[in-house]
Amino acid sequence: MKRLEKRQKAQALIELSSRVAKEDVDLSGLEAMSNEEAVEKLLELRGVGRWTADYALLRGMGRFMIFPAGDVGARNKLQDVLHISKSLDDEVVRRRMWRWDSYAGLIYVHLLLSGLAEEGLL
């Protein structure tokens, strides 16, 4: 991932965290929503894109069924694991992950960790 993309994702997560801390984001309201409703609500916030919304729900709210399909590195790792030659887009990833519904987010974390291990960062 390019340095600029990492910085933008980090800034979006910091912005979201700041808004949660200031109680500009109603976490209890998000908890009551479906995944898609919660994503749509988060997308209304400045600087929050689909990856940030998915990641916040996965990591911050424990919604382990969410695979942040917008993460290109994880998408590429998934493509390798599934032995798919054609590049995957967000929608294809979501369709592919349905069979592991409850565990999609855990698969995402595993792919991230395996990538870090391959790079010698773990």
DSSP state of 94: H
pTM: 0.77
Domain that holds residue 107: 72-118
pLDDT, one tens digit for every residue, the chain (122 residues): 577 777 887 887 788 788 888 888 888 889 999 999 999 999 988 778 888 899 999 998 999 999 998 888 889 999 999 999 988 888 888 888 888 888 999 999 999 898 889 889 88
Task: For the chain, give the number of residues.
Answer: 122
Overall domain count for the chain: 2
Check if the beta carbon of residue 53 is closer than 8 Å to that of residue 39: yes
Does 47 fall in a domain? yes
Check if the beta carbon of residue 53 is closer than 8 Å to that of residue 83: no
- Rounded Cα distance between 104 and 98, Å, is 8
Does 67 fall in a domain? no
